[in-house]
A and B are shown apart, each in its own frame.
Chain A
Amino acid sequence: MKTRNIFRALFVAAALAAVATIAAACAGDDDDSPAATVANTAATATAAHQGMVSALESSCPTVTPAPQLEILDVRARATTNDVTGVFFTVRNGGAADRLVGASVASTLATEAQVHETVTEGASSRMQQVAGIDVPAAGELVLKPGGYHVMLLGVKRPLAEGETIEVTLKFQHAGEKTVQAKVMQIGSSMSGGSMSGGMGGSSMATPTSGMGGGAMATPTSSMGSR
């Protein structure tokens, strides 16, 4: 008899907490509101109802958990002409986001575009993209052979050692202004670790820059004797 009552009480508490959470979540994106705090506390207290909450939450269209972006290792190449590439890593501790653009002061360059390098068959080309996804609780790495922010119409030579200001635009997190360190033009932009691609296991799939025409049968000589 007693046990049954406890179960019933727990169920009611769980249901109430769930409803409170939904209400708070749907009310707006103001995380500091007392309702949200109460709901979150209640939610933490009654772990038993989490399944119910998430099931209900998915039906609430206004829930937009925030991305938590950290932009690291921002670097650009010194120039000998009027273009340069900017490379960096976006570390995200929160919900998914999307890099949708970039800009720089008009005194620095005419334009900043988000680019991707595409390799099809034996040909690599660079093209502008509308955006690049930043995965939830993950990383987006911009490096040679993949993505970069390209500065076009650079108005003055960029010298090794200086820093330039670049503003990155994210769909949810908004604008983030970062300082890019200008590296020697002849310097690896691949970042610290081996990220170039042709090492280790990727050796078995030499797809980059291969295929087509005389390159029709590029067999890796790895291991051949």
Chain B
Amino acid sequence: MIPIVRGRRVAALALLALLLAVLPLAAACSGDDGDAKKTPPPAPTYLGVKIEPAPQMPDAVLTSTSGQPFDLRKDSKAPLTLVYLGYTHCPDVCPTHMYDVSRALRALPQETQDKVQLLFVTTDPARDTPQALREWLDHFDKRFEGLVGTDEQVAAIQAQLGMPPSKKTDLGNGNYAVSHAAYVLAYTQDGFAHLVYPSGMTQEEWKHDIPLLVKEGYQE
């Protein structure tokens, strides 16, 4: 019974959507109304920072938080894949960034959320086990994927992304900090990150750009 009702509802929604889509078209075609512009719609204005040349998704097979191999190129299939390199002992920029992305994402329609994947690659494999990453990421969004590789793999990924290799700063008593890039790379369906989102990107800014990138990919 329920599936039928759902089916009807979907059909009704589809019809409504179709009507809504047709109406503006009809209006646009009907007139020699002076306001109608014939120029193609402008490319969207992004709030992310454009980088050139846009880096390709790095070629590496890491381990996911569930212990499975994760091929960055083959297993990142979402229309929008956000990639961040950081570490869980980072008290400052990493959690702030993850928090803002997670909050912005949650505020978007479910169908948009479903088209976004976030990959958090640890720059501190010695301390960030898959379990430690999972626990940390769950505080932001259970859908965020954590990826662990070797130090060499992380360095190779950073080289492919044009990032300097991570360096450790000794904080005494066996503690250390790890340097890393403080921006999120936004990979669109073409497999390139044309835009990056530096530290301090607000939830409003994320909410502006994510739907654009999900819907149409990156438009020059």
User: Which residues on A are within 8 Å of B, measured CB to CB?
Assistant: 77-78, 80-81, 83-85, 110-111, 113, 115, 117, 119, 121-128, 144-145, 148, 150, 152-153, 184-190, 194, 196-199, 202-203, 206, 208-210, 212-225
Residues of A within 8 A of B52 (CB): 217, 219
Q: Contacts A127-B169, A199-B205: A213 and B45 contacting too (C-beta < 8 A)? A: no
Q: Kindly state the separation between the CA atoms of A189 and B183 in the bound complex, as whole angstroms.
A: 17
Q: Kindly state the separation between the CA atoms of A10 and B63 in the bound complex, as whole angstroms.
A: 84
Which listed segment binds A: B8-16, B74-82, B89-97?
Answer: B89-97
| A122, B93: Cβ atoms closer than 8 Å | no
Residue with the greatest number of chain B CB neighbours at <10 A, chosen from A121, A150, A184, A215: A215
Residues of B within 8 A of A152 (CB): 171-173, 175
| B182, A186: Cβ atoms closer than 8 Å | no
| A223, B93: Cβ atoms closer than 8 Å | no
Residues of B within 8 A of A194 (CB): 202
| A218, B181: Cβ atoms closer than 8 Å | no
Q: Kindly state the separation between the CA atoms of A135 and B17 in the bound complex, as whole angstroms.
A: 59
Residues of A within 8 A of B45 (CB): 221-225
B2 within 8 A of partner (CB): no
Q: Contacts A145-B199, A198-B198: A81 and B49 contacting too (C-beta < 8 A)? A: no
Residues of A within 8 A of B180 (CB): 123-125
Q: How far is the CB of B199 from chain A (nearest CB, A)?
A: 5
Residue with the greatest number of chain A CB neighbours at <10 A, chosen from B91, B99, B132, B183: B91
- Number of A-B pairs whose CB atoms are under 8 Å? 193
Q: Kindly state the separation between the CA atoms of A183 and B201 in the bound complex, as whole angstroms.
A: 20
| B47, A196: Cβ atoms closer than 8 Å | no
Interface size on B, residues (CB 8 A): 57
Q: Contacts A80-B135, A208-B200, A220-B50: A85 and B91 contacting too (C-beta < 8 A)? A: yes
Q: Contacts A123-B181, A185-B95, A214-B161: A203 and B51 contacting too (C-beta < 8 A)? A: no
Residues of B within 8 A of A209 (CB): 181-183, 196, 198-199
Q: Closest B-chain residue to A217, C-beta based? A: B52
Q: How far is the CB of B109 from chain A (nearest CB, A)?
A: 21
The 10 closest A-B pairs by CB, nearest first: A214-B162, A85-B91, A213-B162, A197-B200, A196-B200, A125-B179, A221-B50, A209-B182, A124-B182, A209-B183
Residues of B within 8 A of A220 (CB): 49-50
Which of A111, A117, A225 is within 8 Å of B42, CB to CB?
A225
Residues of A within 8 A of B99 (CB): 186-188
| B164, A122: Cβ atoms closer than 8 Å | yes
Q: How far is the CB of B192 from chain A (nearest CB, A)?
A: 11
Q: How far is the CB of B128 from chain A (nearest CB, A)?
A: 9
Q: Contacts A152-B175, A213-B164, A225-B43: A119 and B182 contacting too (C-beta < 8 A)? A: yes
Residues of A within 8 A of B202 (CB): 194, 196, 198-199
Residues of B within 8 A of A127 (CB): 169, 177
Residues of B within 8 A of A128 (CB): 171
Which of A144, A202, A223 is within 8 Å of B92, CB to CB?
A144
Q: How far is the CB of B111 from chain A (nearest CB, A)?
A: 23
| A214, B173: Cβ atoms closer than 8 Å | no
Q: Kindly state the separation between the CA atoms of A187 and B64 in the bound complex, as whole angstroms.
A: 24
Q: Contacts A83-B89, A85-B92: A184 and B139 contacting too (C-beta < 8 A)? A: yes
Q: Contacts A80-B88, A113-B171, A124-B180: A198 and B98 contacting too (C-beta < 8 A)? A: no
Q: Kindly state the separation between the CA atoms of A111 and B175 in the bound complex, as whole angstroms.
A: 10
